[in-house]
Amino acid sequence: MDSDESPSPPPQLTGVVIITLPPPNNPSLGKTITAYTLTDNSPQSQQTRHRQQQEHPLPPQLHPPQNSQFNFSLPMLFPGLPRKLFLFLAISIFALILYGSVFSYTLQDRYKSNNDDENKESFVFPLYHKFGIREVSQRDAEFKLGRFVDLDGESVVASVNDGIIRPHKSKINKKLVSSNAVAVDSSSIFPLRGNIYPDGLYFTYMIVGNPPRPYYLDMDTGSDLTWIQCDAPCSSCAKGANPLYKPRMGNILPYKDSLCMEIQRNHKPGYCETCQQCDYEIEYADHSSSMGVLARDELHLTIENGSLTKPNVVFGCAYDQQGLLLNTLVKTDGILGLSRAKVSLPSQLASQGIIKNVVGHCLTTNAGGGGYMFLGHDLVPSWGMAWVPMLDSPFMELYHTEILKINYGSSPLNLGARNSQVGWALFDTGSSYTYFTKQAYSELIASLKEVSSDGLVLDASDPTLPVCWRAKFPIRSIVDVKQFFKTLTLHFGSKWQIVSTKFHISPEGYLVISKKGNICLGILDGSEVHNGSTIILGDISLRGQLVVYDNVNKRIGWAKSHCMNPGRFKSLPFLEG
């Protein structure tokens, strides 16, 4: 090149292209391409173009440009602005992008990153949904909150012949309930199946006994005792998903066992002093019941690091079910009790030093339902959770806390709390729907009258739930009518607390689509099924949230989540089956 030839101008920055690759463990999500063009200040030339591949959209993430030649400074492009201002703007933009990529969905299931720890102490269970069973409505929706009842001094006497319990009912004053009753420090992961409508419950599986056999159990944070339908023989059992559990002589729990005394602690002194076994009866809030004897057998659990443990646990050998349980047991074999009681499964595992007493579940909002649950503390997020204290009561071993107020949009709803401005709220996976106090429910219904002016018409002919609307257009999903409804906000805390902890329930968390194609309200009047003094958050409002019950620190926490897979797990067992 001649020296007198004018040098070519340096390359000018004309744009930046950011290519976001899919995660290595899920390439099907596709990539995102974002292009930014920088020119002069004329309105005609300043433009930003954003193009995404539509086959598999992925939330944009921030990645540095690969080409090192594109080194430039915003102050050089805009010399009139102070350097400190540019620095502040750059940090702010980076923080917003980072926040959006990390918090778009609860920590996108981001958990403690102690992956190298081989002594995991959590168990994760899949949640299953039931296919091919009858539709659930308010009339037969799950609403358990089980409690042990006194057998009025009369025992269900059983003898053991050839290793099988043979019950002989000497005198049982049981009130049969019609199926038409109103109802409205290792970790283990368990997949869940289930949905709100039409099935009305979520269940997982347990492997019990020797030889080990699988049983599908309805996940219930409002029940103390885990029980399985058993052949003792069974006097009133549903078909169930698997053959009945058959106990042996050595499996029957003696009456003097400490866990037997625990479930019978409220019985009269001297109750059944001569019994050689531990009889029980549970009555649920929907008036269904289960009767049986306590048994002890091996529970096969796979720890998060892949190893197998087989603790002996106590559960109910249930040979007499009545009421709505006979409907819900069409595709399940019993109930998984997850309350705070000593006889619950997490409490038993914690007492044996296998886990810390922590329970978590995550119910997906997908149409197919499902999710997962876990036992143990390893999968509890180390940050990003909202926590409230559990109420501590010796007579109520459920997961309940204090609630200050409820808002529908910006409108407050009256809690109807007696002698106090603070009410109670209960987290219960044994309830399909959510229940408000009578006052809060009445005011919510009054607030929802405005949707009639938006093109939705009340349809009293739909038997699915008490309040259903018919639209002038076909409804394919809740998203089609979401704009007509507002978010419910529950404010938790105490009256001395300056700032409340909020639990948001979007329209997807309280609406369902019925078989008729109507939109129905999945919040019911609690005074019609219980005393109505407590707000009960059922499955419908717990979806899309990772919910944790930390019995060690006596607190309840939640965070928004997709609920597809727990952190560090690419897939869950039996999710495909």
Interatomic CA distance for residues 247 and 548, integer angstroms: 33
CA-CA distances (angstroms) from residue 171 to 142, 174, 268?
A: 29, 9, 18
What stretches of 341-467 adopt beta strand conformation (E)?
358-363, 371-376, 386-389, 400-408, 411-413, 423-427, 434-436, 456-458
CA-CA distances (angstroms) from residue 219 to 119, 320, 538?
A: 26, 20, 12
The active-site residue, picked from 199, 218, 220, 539, is 220
Find the DSSP H helices in 383-434: none
The active-site residue, picked from 199, 333, 378, 428, is 428
Interatomic CA distance for residues 436 and 492, integer angstroms: 15
Candidates 416, 387, 433; CA nearest to 553 is 387
Interatomic CA distance for residues 187 and 358, integer angstroms: 9
116 included as an active-site residue: no
Beta bridge partners of 436: 525
539, 349, 125, 541 alpha-carbon torsion, rounded to 10°: 10
Interatomic CA distance for residues 279 and 271, integer angstroms: 11
Asked if residue 552 lies in contact with residue 356, where contact means CB atoms within 8 angstroms, the answer is: yes
Interatomic CA distance for residues 519 and 509, integer angstroms: 13
428 included as an active-site residue: yes
Diameter over CA atoms, the chain: 117
Candidates 331, 316, 322, 334; CA nearest to 165 is 316
Asked if residue 259 lies in contact with residue 242, where contact means CB atoms within 8 angstroms, the answer is: no
Query: Would you please indicate which residues are annotated as catalytic (active-site) residues?
Result: 220, 428
